[in-house]
Every structure is written in C-alpha cells, then in structure tokens.
Chain A
C-alpha cells in the first residue's frame, strides 16, 4: 500500500528557533498534502492544505507566517514552525492520498517539544 514518510519523529528545540518537518509520499505522487496538529488526548485539527507548485491554504486561526509550508515537488511537503514557542509544542502529522475522494495515508507524526 501507499506509504507516507515523515521526519523527524521527535524534535526538542529552544524557544525562538525554527524547526522543519518533512513529509514524503514514497510510492505515489500527491498534488496536495495535509498538515494536522494534535494535542494530548484530543483529535486531529487540520492546519493547512499543501498544494504542489502553489501557495498553501490555511485553516481559520492558523498563522501562515508562523507555519510555513512548501510543496516543491509531487512527493515532498515541508512544514516549518518559525520562532517556536512552548505553546507550539504538539504532535504534527502529515497526510496524503494517491487519489481524490479516497482514504488518506498518514505519516508517523512528529512530536515537537519547545523548551
């Protein structure tokens, strides 16, 4: 089946630094990928839709300058958390699908801890 790879799985950084998370579709091309955020014991909250070759679309309340998304190829999307603060600590998960209107394949997630 389709595989989505996400790196790193865990990152600890100091407040004020930027962190980049990569999401790759390994055996299919994805013109769109999705980034979610999950707090402990809560459900996934959609942050943004990453569009290959164009700007990402962000959900209401998500700061685009805070969470920079780049989708430079059909198999790679990156999420950069800029000037991270402790409140940005969370579990970030990416997803993609090989076809429209079908199931999503998720990465294994990145646990971000900002000190």
Chain B
C-alpha cells in the first residue's frame, strides 16, 4: 500500500540545537517532495520544495535532503528557536508531479524548549 510516514508524533529539543525530522514514503515515485509548517487551528504554510534530481536544498535555517533510493526526505532546522514549535508536514504528488494534488504525511509535532 502507499504510505507517507514521519518520525515520531512529537519531537522535543532544546533551543539552539538542530531539529531533524524524517519523512519516509513507500510505493510512490514523486517528482518532488514538499515540507509545510502548520500551527494549531491554521492551514499549512509552505516551507520548501525539493525535486527528485536535487540532493539538498536550503533556505535560511532550514535544510531539506531527498534520497529517492531510500525513499526518504530529511528536514533540518538549525539553531532552533521556541518560535519554531509547530507541526511539520511532508507532502508529495502521487501522480509524480503531474498535478498539484498533494498527499500529506502523518506530521511531526516539534517542541523547542527555551
């Protein structure tokens, strides 16, 4: 069956440390993978998109990697801050990038302690 799984329901880290979130998928061949941030009671907000031919992508304190062999993406937040506390979702297009239809992972709740 097709699945998108993210590591642990919750991740607690200390301020200043690097948070690493994992997204694993099975039985998909996505052309790209996306990461979103969702705060309680709000819609998700886009963070980064990484394509299948890209190994790594960075944006300020964020870094995403994409390994199509392992079928895995890693999402890193360096020098984490309490304001980074939120749920982070990975998502992919099950049609290989032909549509904007996204299927979301289970999400990881990140809590950054001051």
Does B43 contact A102, Cβ atoms closer than 8 Å?
Answer: no
Distance in angstroms from A51 CB to nearest chain B CB is 11
Output the residue of A34, A41, A44, A91 with the most chain B CB within 10 A: A44
Q: For residue A42, which residues in chain B have a CB less than 8 angstroms away from its CB?
A: 106-107
**Which segment of B53-61, B67-75, B96-104 sits at the interface?**
B96-104
CB-CB nearest in chain B for A10: B41
Contact status B105-A43, CB under 8 Å: yes
Interface flags for A100-114 (1: CB within 8 Å of B; 0: not) read 111111111101000
Instruction: Take A101-B93, A102-B49 as given contacts and tell me if A46 and B42 are in contact as well, using a CB distance cutoff of 8 Å.
Output: no
User: How many residues belonging to B are interface residues under a CB distance threshold of 8 Å?
Assistant: 24
Closest CB in chain B relative to A16 CB, distance in Å: 26
| Interface size class, chain A | 20 to 34
Chain B interface helix/strand/loop/mixed: loop
| Interface members, chain A 77-115 (any B CB < 8 Å) | 91, 93, 95-97, 100-109, 111
Which chain B residue shows the least CB distance to A34?
Answer: B101
Q: Does A25 contact B (CB under 8 A)?
A: no
B32 CB within 8 Å of chain A: yes
Q: Are B100 and A104 in contact, with the CB atoms below 8 A? A: yes
B73-103: CB near A (< 8 Å → 1, else 0) gives 0000000000000000100010001111111
Q: Please, which residues of chain B bring their CB within 8 A of the CB of A103?
A: 34, 46, 49
If A104-B100, A106-B43 are given as contacts, then 11 extra A-B residue pairs at C-beta distance below 8 Å, sorted by A number, are A34-B102, A42-B107, A43-B105, A43-B106, A44-B44, A44-B89, A45-B104, A91-B41, A104-B44, A105-B46, A109-B41
- A interface residue numbers (CB < 8 A to B): 4, 6, 32, 34, 36, 41-46, 49, 91, 93, 95-97, 100-109, 111
What are 26 A-to-B residue pairs whose CB atoms are below 8 Å? A4-B43, A32-B100, A34-B100, A34-B102, A36-B104, A42-B107, A43-B104, A43-B106, A44-B44, A44-B89, A44-B104, A46-B104, A49-B101, A93-B43, A95-B43, A95-B102, A96-B100, A101-B31, A101-B100, A103-B34, A104-B34, A104-B44, A106-B45, A107-B43, A108-B42, A109-B42
